[in-house]
């Protein structure tokens, strides 16, 4: 069998595909999402907003962020999953993110955002995330996310990255251009220059 | 500095007074010979340093190359993926194989999960895998496996260690024993307490041993006595020379910094050190597990409690002696007050000698103060309370029981009883019937006397937690496993103190404090009490 390190990239989901059920385990829907929608919503929710939802997450500075509106909306995002006590694949995964950060230079935080989501939110407090980010010289524009477990699980689920045990988290990087609805997946341990290429394609909205 | 140490020790004695019971004599403390364990050869030792941490003896960095990115081997050491014992593990869909030499050498070779097949490794093909990224059949290794640029000498060290890894264990463990250390200064004011704690520790472990020990290993307790000023060097001796596996209980107050640094550096678990100042700096020291809250945690619980009674009109005063130790507690209260947005908070510091209660009471009452945090000693607190009572003033008064001691109850008048709040790390009702029975039983069976009962109780609690965690670790014991097992402890009841919970971010078992009020008619026990957790 051909090993998987041949970079697999493909369109993950776009436009009409939002809302499709994920295969595999599904976490419970957070209570905050189960309330009825206010009837007089001034703006009509986009498909993406409905799909991803606005669960509350917390970044490395302890700031509360809404998943869709603050993390994804109108941005190009490069997302991986990790946990701070992981000693095996997470360090190289985030080392690759550090390389992406270098490659993006001043464009980080403008043209694209790096987003690392913890799969162990109960352990990974904002302080731990902050400390972890320092190890990879993370700058503004690279955010680390934790939060209530049910919220983080839901966000991960919507990205197809929900796992029941933290050791099962994937090494997949998701690169999305939210306004254009272009989403790609890449192997997180690929060579940085290959990742950069995909990121550039997504920024430029090239399939 | 010396003064601080003394205050800390007195304070410990202060809160330890909350529990009483039975009888005691002299226990014997025989020291058995060091456990049989073949030392690592210098070659194996160097290999181990590289395996676990990516370090080399020369101090020269080895480079790990992954996807053409160079990183120091210290970021990607073997043990990170393959495990501290070389057992291999799977994470993120990436399987890091078993690296024990006997496995690598299996004559029939390997069929890896990904479908990769290859014959057994040899030293030559192993070297090729490490440096060239191919298995003995010439297949490329998984992408997550870096290639290491290393010298032949470093490689020889690593191979020597992999041949030994299966039989290597942490210091202090043999097939028949686990060596545990404790530091109990016997000189000065502490001698009696040290002796009492040492006796119950010996007795407790002797009973565990007589019931078969832990997976057929007997616990051997090494006690370092000596002077309180040599706590750190005593601890170092236990770790380096006596090769203890872990440290339990003991009297280490006054040496908090040194103890914390040493356990972190040597990666030795320390369960239940007695201190009023747990070290909680970040990054977290993974190796120290405190059972009870320190003074700062208690001060935080007290402010959390007070917050319910404080409103926009409240006028808060913090009164503290002008001593570094007390000021640091006053600062904690100020910090909390700021976080809670209390509108009016003032702090005043009186000279260490000659506290003038009358003057303070006069001044504060005229200013319209209605809430007081008193951070001084018991004598000063009593003088203060008497003056407050004398002028018929009834502000809310908050104090740390560990600082003022239990005799403060004599100063709580009927008028002030509903206005005086004391924080304590533990209260008499924490001692369950079973806990009390175990304590008295242990003393009776071993012909020991109850003396410094609270100190003895804290020693037994620490020993119980250690034994419980060791049992849960299983036969394949390591320091790392002990630490992660302790992190999983949830509401563990020692029967002698509040329930103990640890976690990856939590190193104080009972994180909070009781806030109690005193009934002047029944001084011994709290009139009301509430456990206030802190985050």
Report whether B183 contacts B238 (CB < 8 A): yes
pLDDT at A133: 95
pLDDT at A20: 52
Report whether B365 contacts B391 (CB < 8 A): yes
pLDDT at B204: 97
Q: Give contacts of B92 with chain A, Cβ < 8 Å.
A: 86, 88-90, 93, 167-171
Length of chain B: 535
- Residue A17 pLDDT level (bands cut at 50, 70, 90): very low
Region of poorest pLDDT, from A193-197, B137-141, B203-207, B282-286:
B282-286
pLDDT at B74: 86
pLDDT at A23: 65
Residues ≥6 apart with Cβ < 8 Å to A137? A98, A101
Task: Give me the CATH code for the B296-424+514-533 domain, please.
Answer: 3.40.50.2300
Report whether A58 contacts A64 (CB < 8 A): yes
Tally of domains in chain A? 1
Nearest-by-CA chain A residue for B78: A88
Helix axis angle, B191-210 to B453-473, nearest 10°: 30
Question: Are B92 and A168 a contacting pair at CB < 8 A?
Answer: yes
pLDDT at A11: 41
Burial B444-478 (b: 16+ CB within 10 A, else e): eebebebbbbbbbbbbbbbbbbbbbbbeebeeebb
Assigned domain for A89 exists: yes
The pLDDT of residue B1 is above 70: no
Closest partner residue to A131 (CB to CB) among B66, B91, B283 is B283
Q: Give contacts of A88 with chain B, Cβ < 8 Å.
A: 80-81, 89, 91-92, 94, 96, 144
pLDDT at B90: 85
Which pLDDT tens digit goes with each residue over B350-359? 998 888 889 9
- Residue A5 pLDDT level (bands cut at 50, 70, 90): very low
Q: What does the pLDDT average to over B50-66?
A: 86
Question: Are B505 and A169 a contacting pair at CB < 8 A?
Answer: no
The pLDDT of residue B69 is above 90: no
- Residue B280 pLDDT level (bands cut at 50, 70, 90): confident
- For B306, the token pair is 């007070």
Return d(Cα B115, Cα B110) in angstroms, integer: 10
Strand runs labelled E in B31-72 = 63-66, 69-72
Distance from CA of B81 to the nearest CA of A (A): 4
Ranked by mean pLDDT, which of B57-71, B75-89, B380-394 comes out on top? B380-394
The pLDDT of residue A61 is above 50: yes
- Of A142, A163, A175, A168, nearest to A59 by C-alpha is A142
The pLDDT of residue B398 is above 80: yes
- Cα-based distances in Å from B294 to A30, B203, B225, B509: 37, 28, 24, 11
Question: Are A3 and B79 a contacting pair at CB < 8 A?
Answer: no
CA atoms within 13 A on the CB side of B84: 9
pLDDT at A191: 86
Closest partner residue to A189 (CB to CB) among B91, B144, B504 is B144
pLDDT at B382: 93
Q: What does the pLDDT average to over B390-403?
A: 94
Region of poorest pLDDT, from A17-21, B50-54, B385-389:
A17-21
Phi and psi at residue B290, in whole multiples of 5°?
-85, 145
Of B35 and B504, the one with more pLDDT: B504
3-state secondary structure of B283: coil
Q: What does the pLDDT average to over A15-43?
A: 64
- For B355, the token pair is 């506290």
The pLDDT of residue B24 is above 50: no
Closest partner residue to B91 (CB to CB) among A131, A167, A191 is A167
| Exposed/middle/buried for residue A111 (C-beta within 10 Å: 0-12, 13-18, 19+) | middle
- Residue B39 pLDDT level (bands cut at 50, 70, 90): confident
pLDDT at B21: 28
Stretch (H or E) spanning B507: none
Which pLDDT tens digit goes with each residue over B443-465? 999 999 998 998 999 999 999 99
Assigned domain for A158 exists: yes
- Residue B34 pLDDT level (bands cut at 50, 70, 90): very low
Assigned domain for A101 exists: yes
pLDDT at B187: 78
- Cα-based distances in Å from B480 to B155, B172, B258, B469, B484: 26, 14, 21, 12, 6
The pLDDT of residue B15 is above 80: no
Domain with residues B2-33+172-291+432-504, CATH architecture: 3-Layer(aba) Sandwich (3.40)
Q: What does the pLDDT average to over A113-117?
A: 97
B2-33+172-291+432-504 and B296-424+514-533, same CATH topology: yes
**Is B213 near chain A, with CB under 8 Å?**
no
Closest partner residue to B114 (CB to CB) among A1, A87, A123 is A1
What's the complex ipTM? 0.71
* Mean pLDDT, chain B, whole residue set: 88
Question: Are B67 and A191 a contacting pair at CB < 8 A?
Answer: yes
Neighbours of B168 (CB within 10 A): 18
* Pick among A62, A81, A89, A122 to test the B interface (most B CBs inside 10 A): A89
- For B474, the token pair is 């299983």
CA B330: distance to chain centroid? 24
Share of chain B above pLDDT 90, in %: 65
The pLDDT of residue A4 is above 50: no
Stretch (H or E) spanning A116: strand A113-118
Size of interface A-B (CB pairs under 8 A): 80
Q: Name the B residues in 451-480 with CB < 8 Å from any A CB.
A: none
pLDDT at A41: 52
pLDDT at B37: 57
Q: Give contacts of B67 with chain A, Cβ < 8 Å.
A: 96, 189-192
Question: Are A88 and B91 a contacting pair at CB < 8 A?
Answer: yes
Question: Are B143 and A169 a contacting pair at CB < 8 A?
Answer: no
Stretch (H or E) spanning B111: strand B110-111
Return d(Cα B247, Cα B231) in angstroms, integer: 13
Which pLDDT tens digit goes with each residue over A78-90? 999 999 988 888 8
On the question of a cis peptide bond just before residue A97, with omega within 30 degrees of 0, the verdict is no
CA A72: distance to chain centroid? 8
3-state secondary structure of A72: helix
Stretch (H or E) spanning B526: strand B526-533
- Can you list the alpha helix ranges (DSSP code H) found in chain A? 47-52, 90-104, 126-135, 149-158, 192-203
pLDDT at B524: 66
- For B32, the token pair is 């058995």
Helix axis angle, B42-53 to B152-164, nearest 10°: 90
**Across-strand partners of B134?**
B140
Radius of gyration of chain A (CA): 16
pLDDT at B352: 82
Q: Name the B residues in 23-52 with CB < 8 Å from any A CB.
A: none
pLDDT at A171: 87
pLDDT at B89: 85
User: Residue A156 maps to which CATH number?
Assistant: 3.40.30.10
pTM of the model: 0.79
The pLDDT of residue A9 is above 50: no
Q: Give contacts of B94 with chain A, Cβ < 8 Å.
A: 88-89, 171, 189
* Pick among B74, B82, B91, B535 to test the A interface (most A CBs inside 10 A): B91
Report whether B12 contacts B294 (CB < 8 A): no
Region of poorest pLDDT, from B109-113, B253-257, B289-293:
B109-113
Assigned domain for A29 exists: no
The pLDDT of residue A24 is above 80: no
Of A34 and B162, the one with more pLDDT: B162
Q: What does the pLDDT average to over B229-242?
A: 93
Q: What does the pLDDT average to over B368-387?
A: 94
- Calculate the CA dihedral of residues A88, B104, B123, B167 and round it to 10 degrees: 80
Length of chain A: 207
Which pLDDT tens digit goes with each residue over B461-493? 999 999 999 999 998 899 999 999 999 999 999
DSSP B188: G
Closest partner residue to A92 (CB to CB) among B114, B144, B283 is B144
Question: Are A95 and B69 a contacting pair at CB < 8 A?
Answer: yes
Closest partner residue to B505 (CB to CB) among A91, A96, A123 is A123
Neighbours of A37 (CB within 10 A): 9
Question: Per CB distance under 8 Å, which residues of A are interface residues toward B?
Answer: 1, 3, 5, 85-93, 95-96, 99, 123, 125, 127-128, 131, 167-171, 187, 189-192
Structural domain that includes position A181: 47-203
* Pick among A4, A5, A88, A126 to test the B interface (most B CBs inside 10 A): A88
Q: Name the B residues in 128-167 with CB < 8 Å from any A CB.
A: 140, 142-144, 146
- For B528, the token pair is 């009301």
Residue with tokens 């175990």: B438
Distance from CA of B420 to the nearest CA of A (A): 36
Q: Spell out the domain ranges in chain B.
A: 2-33+172-291+432-504, 42-167, 296-424+514-533
- CATH number 1.10.287 given to B42-167: no
- Of A108, A76, A85, A87, nearest to A173 by C-alpha is A76
pLDDT at A157: 94
CA-angle at B513, arms to B507 and B514, nearest 5°: 150
Closest partner residue to A190 (CB to CB) among B67, B80, B505 is B67
Question: Are B69 and A93 a contacting pair at CB < 8 A?
Answer: no
pLDDT at A21: 54
pLDDT at B7: 39
Neighbours of B8 (CB within 10 A): 21
pLDDT at B217: 96
Q: What does the pLDDT average to over B116-136?
A: 93
Closest partner residue to A171 (CB to CB) among B71, B92, B115 is B92
Closest partner residue to B94 (CB to CB) among A96, A99, A171 is A171
pLDDT at A174: 95
The pLDDT of residue B310 is above 70: yes
């Amino acid at each position: 069998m051909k090993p998987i390190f041949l970079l697999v990239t493909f369109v993950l989901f776009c436009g009409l595909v939002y809302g499709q059920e994920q295969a595999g385990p599904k976490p419970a829907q957070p209570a905050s999402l189960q309330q009825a929608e206010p009837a007089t919503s001034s703006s009509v929710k986009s498909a993406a907003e409905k799909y991803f939802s606005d669960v509350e997450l917390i970044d490395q500075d302890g700031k509360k962020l809404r998943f869709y509106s603050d993390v994804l909306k109108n941005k190009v995002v490069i997302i991986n999953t990790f946990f701070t006590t992981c000693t095996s694949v997470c360090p190289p995964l985030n080392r690759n993110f550090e390389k992406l950060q270098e490659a993006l230079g001043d464009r980080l935080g403008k043209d694209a955002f790096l987003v690392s989501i913890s799969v162990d939110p109960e352990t990974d407090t904002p302080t731990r995330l902050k400390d972890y980010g320092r190890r990879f010289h993370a700058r503004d524009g690279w955010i680390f996310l934790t939060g209530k477990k049910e919220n983080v699980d839901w966000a991960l689920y919507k990205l197809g990255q929900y796992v029941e045990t933290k050791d099962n988290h994937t090494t997949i990087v998701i690169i999305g251009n939210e306004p254009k609805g272009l989403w790609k997946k890449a192997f997180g341990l690929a060579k940085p220059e290959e990742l950069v290429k995909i990121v550039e394609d997504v920024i430029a909205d090239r399939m | 500095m010396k003064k601080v140490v003394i205050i800390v020790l007195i304070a410990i004695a202060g809160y330890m007074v909350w529990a009483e019971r039975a009888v005691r004599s002299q226990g014997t403390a025989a020291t058995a010979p060091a456990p049989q364990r073949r030392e690592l050869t210098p070659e194996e030792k160097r290999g181990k340093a590289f395996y676990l941490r990516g370090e080399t003896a020369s101090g020269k960095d080895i480079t790990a190359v992954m996807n053409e990115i160079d990183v120091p081997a210290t970021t990607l050491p073997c043990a990170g993926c393959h495990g501290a014992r070389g057992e291999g593990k799977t994470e993120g869909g990436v399987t890091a194989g078993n690296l024990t030499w006997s496995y690598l050498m299996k004559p029939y070779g390997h069929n890896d999960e990904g479908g990769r097949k290859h014959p057994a490794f040899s030293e030559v093909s192993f070297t090729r895998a490490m440096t060239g990224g191919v298995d003995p059949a010439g297949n490329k290794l998984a992408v997550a496996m870096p290639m290491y640029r290393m010298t032949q000498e470093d490689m020889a060290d690593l191979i020597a260690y992999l041949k030994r890894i299966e039989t290597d264990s942490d210091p202090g463990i043999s097939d028949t024993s686990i060596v545990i250390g404790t530091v109990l200064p016997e000189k000065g004011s502490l001698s009696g307490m040290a002796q009492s704690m040492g006796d119950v520790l010996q007795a407790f472990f002797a009973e565990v041993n007589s019931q078969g020990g832990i997976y057929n290993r007997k616990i051997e307790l090494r006690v370092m006595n000596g002077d309180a000023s040599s706590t750190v060097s005593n601890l170092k001796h236990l770790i380096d020379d006596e090769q203890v596996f872990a440290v339990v209980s003991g009297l280490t107050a006054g040496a908090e910094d040194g103890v914390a640094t040493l356990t972190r550096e040597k990666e030795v678990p320390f369960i239940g050190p007695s201190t009023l100042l747990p070290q909680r700096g970040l990054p977290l020291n993974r190796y120290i597990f405190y059972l009870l809250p320190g003074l700062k945690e208690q001060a935080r619980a007290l402010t959390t409690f007070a917050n319910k009674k404080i409103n926009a009109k409240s006028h808060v005063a913090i009164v503290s002696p002008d001593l570094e130790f007390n000021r640091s507690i006053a600062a904690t209260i100020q910090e909390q007050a700021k976080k809670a947005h209390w509108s009016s908070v003032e702090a005043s510091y009186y000279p260490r000698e000659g506290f003038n209660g009358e003057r303070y009471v006069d001044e504060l009452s005229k200013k319209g103060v209605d809430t007081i945090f008193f951070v001084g000693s018991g004598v000063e607190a009593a003088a203060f309370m008497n003056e407050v009572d004398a002028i018929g003033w009834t502000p809310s008064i908050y104090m740390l029981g560990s600082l003022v001691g239990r005799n403060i109850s004599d100063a709580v008048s009927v008028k002030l009883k509903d206005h005086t709040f004391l924080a304590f790390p533990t209260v008499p009702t924490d001692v369950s019937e079973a806990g009390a029975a175990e304590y008295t039983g242990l003393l009776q069976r071993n012909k020991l006397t109850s003396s410094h009962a609270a100190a003895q109780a804290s020693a037994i609690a620490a020993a119980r937690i250690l034994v419980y965690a060791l049992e849960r670790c299983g036969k394949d014991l390591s320091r790392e496993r002990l630490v992660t097992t302790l992190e999983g402890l949830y509401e563990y009841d020692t029967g002698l103190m509040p329930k103990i919970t640890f976690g990856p971010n939590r190193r104080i078992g009972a994180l909070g404090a009781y806030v109690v009020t005193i009934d002047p008619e029944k001084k011994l026990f709290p009139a009301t009490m509430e456990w206030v957790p802190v985050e």
